[in-house]
Structure 1
Amino acid sequence: MPLLARSVQTPLHIDVRRGAVADLGTILADGRISSGGDVAVVVGPGQGEKIAELIRPTLDSADVFTTSGGTLDAALELSAKLRTRTYDAVVGVGGGKTIDAAKYAANRWGMPMVSVATSLAHDGIASPVASLINDGIKGSYGVHIPYAVIVDLDFVENGPERVNRAGIGDVISNISALADWDLGREVRGEPVDGLAASLSRVGAEAMLTMPGDMHDDAFVTVLAETLISSGLAMAVCGSSRPCSGGCHEIIHATDTLFPGTGSHGELAGLGALFCTFLRGDERRFAQMSDCLARHQLPRTPADVGLEPQQFVEVVQFAPRTRPDRYTILEHLALSRDEISRKLAEYVDAVADR
């Protein structure tokens, strides 16, 4: 008998709205994740006290742990603390560093993990990946997809706008990542998962033309849902391929060579726009450039504080960050001088828009 369907891991519960953190106990109970509130709540150092105060009325049995740094050592330290007693779930509340540490720590002991995002910087809020720094280098660690993904729009609204805007760059970089995936299929016969590609593409296309900005609840809700969709695309595929191509190789190279330069989402948008230019896709280049400009996101190396020769170094180093991945950067295999020429042409093209 032919296989008629396949099983796909997804969160049991997805909730994007205002007041979600304060209502966390009810959400966990309704989602059949924890009826009694016996959970470990992981917060970052910035908003930890405020979050603990908000959840206490509905989660009086919870233990609150603070983590910081987004490092593998911090995640391992947190995992040791989680062994003090049995919990129904681990609930990571905060930005990407806090959520990734909670993901890794929960996965280490096979505990269900709930992701409660208070910012929209990138698609890690729902992905089966924890990005953690180890010995100064950021690595990606496979983990179980969160059992629930919750986004509190009150916290997003009150957070740094630059941090939240960066998520737009991460979403639209999917378009470049998918073009790289198609290139891998054409050149190397790499299989492309149609469902994963669809989940990745739909949100990116919506974000390209969606009216509004980070002050508009409808826009922010769509951004949150597209970031979640990207995480699901990675879970369906079993890798980050639907959302990570040459654009993310540029991110990882920048993090390695010039740490502290821009945020993940900012570099994703910049890397995607540059890779799209290298492909010669003028229509996509125009769409992406206009979207980044509309949301005040970086489009040139100078926008993130990189000198031209530094960005050339980044692009030349980028393929080494994902040696198993075939993208436009590997395909063209440009020399240092060729990258310099292309970069000059790229900066001129951006200035003309």
Structure 2
Amino acid sequence: MSVILRNIQIPLFIKIETGCLQNIRQILDEHHLHFQKPLVLSEEHILALGGNDVVNALGNPATVLMKENSIAAGDRLAKEIREKGNDLIVSVGGGRTLDLGKYAATKAGVNYISIPTSPSNDGICSPVAVLTDDDMTKSLPVNMPIGIFVDTSILTSAPIHNIRAGIGDLISNMSAINDWRLAYHDGKESMDDFAASIAFSAAQLIHETCRGVNINISDEAFLEKLVHGLILSGIAMNIAGNSRPCSGSEHEISHAIDALFPGRSIHGLQVSYGTLLGCFLRKEEDLLVDLVDFFARVELPATHQELGLTDDEMIDVFLKAPETRPERYTILEKLHITDRGAVAKLLNEYNAHIAELQGK
């Protein structure tokens, strides 16, 4: 009998250390990676933050500044890459820039390197690009980066709400996995325990790190752990073949907020709230108690009001959420609540319980 194995696409290398951007060429050479015509994708304000270091290290290649992260913009960039013969895209910036770069690289059939300057979500290494299309966000399958460079000294300059968003996106794995397990037990989906284990371990890493007192989430040592966790989340998704290890009802809530009230908040903070709501709906009291304490330590939003949503708007979000991922089965699909009054009552009960747990 032949040996049964499965192939998993992962990056060839990951460098997470201060000052690593100046050594890009050397690290590529060490891995016998030689590119004739790389292209750097970044943003105007990112060039001074680290983008220029990348450009200089690569010998001043062509640079494209991101104006929008739409599917149309990605298609235009892919066309330009093919026409000019670029053989590598290096994205330097936040999640929107990284998503545009990996989508364009996948469309053009070239390699891609991820260089995040903000740890706001798990798009650093995920096989998914979230791009806009006619004011809607779409999650599209893409290739993994061949390599990742993270200069932790640059991450310390990231806005504090972006760091909190990264923590929220990572901790939301706990809710996503429980929704996935629910779907498996209800006979709706198969489950990849290996992918789920990696996603949970990634969330647990940051959860345990934040147990101590006086946590400084802008500290380089903390940010290194956060980025490690976000990268592991991306690898878990690639193993599963979809975003299921890191995306459940909490992400449906976030997608609904984006669809109905774009720009109201940011992804990682939205899924933070959705994580607590999911735990409440699944009646996971022990986890809910634990996470409410965790949220207080790192100042993550626990209610829709903290996201800037009114009660009526949150009812709209709750009703819209299952439509955002119709192929997915979570606690929202299981409960299938469609009456506005019933949703209002449930949300009031949730808020009251959260206030009780917070000691208010």
Give me the TM-score of the superposition, normalised by structure 1.
0.95
Mean Cα deviation higher: 19-28 or 155-164? 19-28
Structure 1, gaps ≥5 residues long: none
Q: Contact 2:121–2:166 (CA<8 Å) still a contact in 1?
A: yes
Which residue identity does 2:72 align to in structure 1? D
Residue 303 of structure 2 is aligned to residue 288 of structure 1: no
Query: Which one of 310, 326, 347 corresponds to residue 343 of structure 1?
Result: 347
Contact 1:37 1:59 in 2 (8 A): no
Per-residue Cα deviation, 1:166-212 (whole angstroms, up to 9, x for no partner): 11100111111111111111112521001110111101122223133
The SS at the match of 1:250 is: helix
Q: Is the 8 A contact 2:21 2:57 kept in 1?
A: no
Superposition deviation, residue 235 in structure 1: 0.5
Give the structure 2 partner of residue 140 of structure 1. 139
Q: Secondary structure at the match of 2:113?
A: strand
* CA separation of 1:4 and 1:213: change in aligned 2, threshold 3 A: farther
Q: What is the CA–CA distance in structure 2 between the aligned matches of 1:41 and 1:242, rounded to whole Å?
A: 31
Q: Distance in 1 between matches of 2:312 and 2:177?
A: 28
Q: 2:73 — aligned with what?
A: 74
Q: AA paired with 2:8?
A: V
**Conservation of the 8 A alpha-carbon contact between 1:196 and 1:242:** yes
Partner of 1:213: 216
Which residue of the other structure, out of 321, 328, 333, is the alignment partner of 1:330?
Answer: 333
Q: Is the aligned partner of 1:301 residue 2:304?
A: yes
Shift of 1:137: 0.3
Match of 1:65 in 2: 64
Task: Return the offset for 1:31.
Answer: 2.9
**Match in the other structure for 1:55:** 54
**d(CA) in 1 for partners of 2:188, 2:106:** 33
Which position in structure 2 is the counterpart of 1:97?
Answer: 96
Q: Quick one: distance in 2 between partners of 1:260 and 1:57? A: 34
Q: Tell me which residue corresponds to 1:274.
A: 277
Q: SS at the partner of 2:91?
A: strand
Per-residue CA deviations over 1:118-154 (Å, capped at 9, x if unaligned) read 1111001100111000111000111111111222212
CA separation in 2, counterparts of 1:5 and 1:271?
36
Give 1:65-214 correspondences, 5 Å limit. 65-211=64-210, 212-214=215-217
Q: Deviations over 1:206-256 (max 9, x none)?
A: 222313332322221111011001100110011111110100000110000
Gaps of 5+ in 2: none
Instruction: Please state how far the C-alpha of 1:86 moved relative to its aligned partner.
Output: 2.9
Taking only aligned residues, the RMSD between alpha carbons, in angstroms, comes to 1.6
For the 8 Å contact 2:156–2:219, the answer to whether it is kept is no
Mapped partners of 1:314, 1:182: distance in 2 = 24
Which of 311, 314, 317 is equivalent to 2:320?
Answer: 317
Q: Tell me the distance in 2 between the aligned counterparts of 1:40 and 1:138.
A: 26
Moved over 6 A (4+): none
The one-letter amino acid paired with 2:13 is: H
Once the two structures are superposed, residues 61-96 of structure 1 have per-residue CA deviations (whole angstroms, 9 ceiling, x without a partner) of: 522111122211221222232234333411111101
Partner of 1:20: 20
Aligned length: 352
Q: Secondary structure at the match of 2:44?
A: coil
User: Would the alpha carbon gap of residues 303 and 38 (structure 1) be closer, same or farther in structure 2, given more than 3 Å must change?
Assistant: same
CA distance in 2, matches of 1:187, 1:145: 31
Q: Counterparts of 2:27 and 2:86 in 1: how far apart (Å)?
A: 16
Q: TM-score, normalised by structure 2?
A: 0.93
